[in-house]
Amino acid sequence: MSGQNLSDGFFAAMENRRSYYGIKKECPISDAELEAIVKRCVKHSPTSFNMQSSRAVLLTGKHHELLWEKIAELSDKNTEDEGQKQAGRGKIEGCFKAGYGTVVFFEDQDVVNNWSKQMPMFEEGFKIWSEDAAGILHYTVWTALCANGLGATLQHYATLFKEAQGEVTSAFQLPSNWKCTAMMPFGTPAGPPGNPAHPKEFQDLDERVKTFLG
Ligand SMILES: Cc1cc2nc3c(=O)[nH]c(=O)nc-3n(C[C@H](O)[C@H](O)[C@H](O)COP(=O)(O)O)c2cc1C
């Protein structure tokens, strides 16, 4: 395959990745294939100094259900207004728990802190680069899932609810030094991507990209 064709495939995968809020409890590929996709993304997504701080946990079946039950409980607990409580639960159950599985992402803080100790002049940098690496991994998994016929979204309940970090690590017996960076519920798409109330629009690229050629 020529370089041009490889590049075409890359951009096709990029453009095919979208946020799918309507997802079903179905999956066009096997759990073993899902696991292979997540592992491949973790292996090949770059990290600063190749410190390999990113972690991922793949949940399907009852484990996926348990995660979203816990998040729904936290949402109820942290929301006072009855209308907002219903809306929050509706979104969690209808858009996330309704899916086939979830990939939960973490950054291992022991790895980040050890690198900071070894190179104290980059202490602040390591925290930022760990978040950057997390974002890269979220993106590669998201793109790979969509390229395999799945729909997914990126959710930040561990940032929204302070108890979520402890709830997730204890429910799945994960190391406490794994800091949750995002949750990605996925499943076979139940409809088109995006939110129909807010169609995806693109800003003029000449306002966002400057070129100085030759
Ligand atoms: C860093 C980042 C954080 C995001 N956080 C959330 C989130 O917490 N909840 C959510 O529903 N979507 C979240 N999104 C999804 C964006 O809203 C979405 O990607 C954007 O509107 C473009 O739509 P698309 O994904 O369909 O291309 C996030 C995206 C990025 C890149």
CA 153–ligand 1 middle distance (angstroms): 7
| Contact of 161 with 133, CB cutoff 8 Å | no
Q: Above 70 in pLDDT, residue 1?
A: no
Atom 27, ligand 1: residue with shortest CA distance: 18
CA 155–ligand 1 middle distance (angstroms): 8
**Residue 3 pLDDT:** 52
**Residue 195 pLDDT:** 87
Q: Above 90 in pLDDT, residue 10?
A: yes
Percent of the chain with pLDDT over 70: 97
Q: Above 80 in pLDDT, residue 145?
A: yes
If we measure between CA atoms, which residue out of 29, 23, 4 comes closest to residue 144? 29
**Residue 197 pLDDT:** 84
CATH (residue range 24-192): 3.40.109.10
Q: Which tokens hold the place of 5?
A: 């064709």
CA 52 vs. chain centroid, Å, equals: 17
Q: Which tokens hold the place of 50?
A: 């190749």
pLDDT tens-digit series, residues 99-128 = 999 999 999 999 999 999 999 999 999 999
CA 111–ligand 1 middle distance (angstroms): 27
pLDDT tens-digit series, residues 62-82 = 999 999 999 999 999 999 999
**Residue 66 pLDDT:** 98
Q: Which sign, positive or negative, has the C-alpha torsion 64, 68, 71, 77?
A: negative
Q: Which tokens hold the place of 7?
A: 């590049």
Atom 16, ligand 1: residue with shortest CA distance: 19
Q: Above 70 in pLDDT, residue 6?
A: no
Q: Which tokens hold the place of 86?
A: 């219903």
| Contact of 125 with 211, CB cutoff 8 Å | no
Ligand 1: list residues with CB < 6 Å.
Answer: 18-19, 153-156, 193-194, 200
Pocket probe for ligand 1: among 18, 154, 156, 157, the residue whose CB has the most ligand atoms within 8 Å is 154
Atom 3, ligand 1: residue with shortest CA distance: 154
Mean pLDDT within 158-182: 97
Mean pLDDT within 25-50: 98
Q: How far is CA 100 from CA 106, 182, 198, in A?
A: 20, 17, 25
Domain boundaries, the chain: 24-192
CA 154–ligand 1 middle distance (angstroms): 6
pLDDT grade, residue 198 (50/70/90)? confident
Mean pLDDT of the chain: 96
